[in-house]
Amino acid sequence: MNRQLDEELQIHFRDILEADLSKQTMKGIKKAVDGILNDIEDDVMYRLKDDLAPNLTAYVADMAQRAVEQLLAGNEDQMRRYLGCESGHWNGRSDGDNGWGRKREDYEWHQVIHGKLFEQGAVKLRKDIVEAHRDLIASERILDLEDQVKSLVAQVNRANTEKDRMWERLHNARMET
């Protein structure tokens, strides 16, 4: 009902404008409206282009961080999702086929080839990262643990100080009675 009323009002308003305004005035109004619309379009395009790079950078950094977290957690499917390589996205394969007629489910299990465990995907990547940067990972982990120990020691010291204060107040209260 409102839509019909709106259309009727638009038709009525247009008829009033056409009857009361000259063609020259209508051309001026159309030109002014076109100018306003162009200004709006220019502003929107400028803002879109100006904000595109930082927004895209933040998005890519977030997806990369999530992919690495999932890689370290051993969740290859989520890692692929964050990298945009999941099924439904073009990843160089069609319908999950690896190019040799085998589906992903056929080669996801861990194979032993010539008596050696054949690692692939996220498992192989994690192994390669650890082997390449074992000293860095160990030293960073040690730094993490040292920081945690320092924090825990400070918490225990604060708790002991508070406990001592409480014992002292209790002892003083007993002495007064």
- The predicted-structure confidence for 6-51, as pLDDT tens digits, reads as follows 788 888 877 777 776 677 777 888 889 889 999 999 999 988 888 8
Residues 122, 99, 123: CA angle, nearest 5 degrees: 10
pLDDT: is 115 or 110 the higher one?
A: 115
Count CB-CB contacts under 10 A for residue 27. Answer: 11
State pLDDT tens for residues 78-93: 887 887 755 454 444 4
User: Exposure of 172 by Cβ count < 10 A (0-12 exposed, 13-18 middle, 19+ buried)?
Assistant: exposed
CA pair distance 119, 126, nearest whole angstrom:
10
- pLDDT band of 163, cuts 50, 70, 90: very high
User: Exposure of 67 by Cβ count < 10 A (0-12 exposed, 13-18 middle, 19+ buried)?
Assistant: buried
Check residue 165 and give its pLDDT. 95
Domain boundaries, the chain: 1-89
User: Exposure of 68 by Cβ count < 10 A (0-12 exposed, 13-18 middle, 19+ buried)?
Assistant: middle
pLDDT: is 116 or 96 the higher one?
A: 116
pTM comes to 0.36
